[in-house]
Amino acid sequence: MHPNTPRLAITMGDPAGISPEIILKACRRLQPRVAAGELQRLIIGHPTQLHAAGKTLNEPLDLPETTEQADWPPLALLPAGDEQAPIAFGKIAPEAGRFAYLAVDRAVHLAQAGRIDTIVTAPLNKAALNLAGYHYAGHTDMLAALTNTKSSVTLLAHGDMRVSHVTTHVALETCPGCSRRSCCGAPST
């Protein structure tokens, strides 16, 4: 691995949802780039759920488990925490929300320590997060809180295009900027 190879941490999101499947498919598509030494991936999440998804999808993945302190191979799995209760696919559960939060928390700490270059997030379930006691509207709020950032936005980027949301996870009819059903984006008066 070249010293300038980008190190991506992929947080698993909701281990009871579609996130394990998305991660497995992304790993398969990115395998040629990993083999060429162009990037390194560290999946942070729930080992049992990821391996179960691999069996279900017939997408077995050679995924050695590692620790935060180890020198990771080009593709590795870092457990987000200790598995305390079984998680069933398709069921909203506090344990799934706890793992989703812990994965992002570990990724932030690794980024702040300079161990990873980028955090890639898989979908999480806000209801599961709430059941686990973490009350965030989504990844943006969670990342802002974990990094003590006072103001943040979601930025979508592709090529030269950059787009930011006017509202995030707020119904347009409850937008504080206007009294109409459609949002104007104006500040509350």
pLDDT tens-digit readout, 97-144: 999 999 999 999 999 999 999 999 999 999 999 999 999 888 888 999
**Token reading at 72:** 């990771």
| Predicted TM-score of the model (pTM) | 0.84
What is the dihedral sign for C-alpha 22, 23, 25, 30?
Answer: positive
pLDDT < 70: residue spans in the chain: 1-3, 167-189
Residue 186: its pLDDT value, please?
46
Residue 182: its pLDDT value, please?
46
Cα–Cα distance for residue pair 13/128, rounded to 1 Å = 10
Strand 40-45's sheet: what is its strand order? 75-79, 40-45, 7-11, 118-121
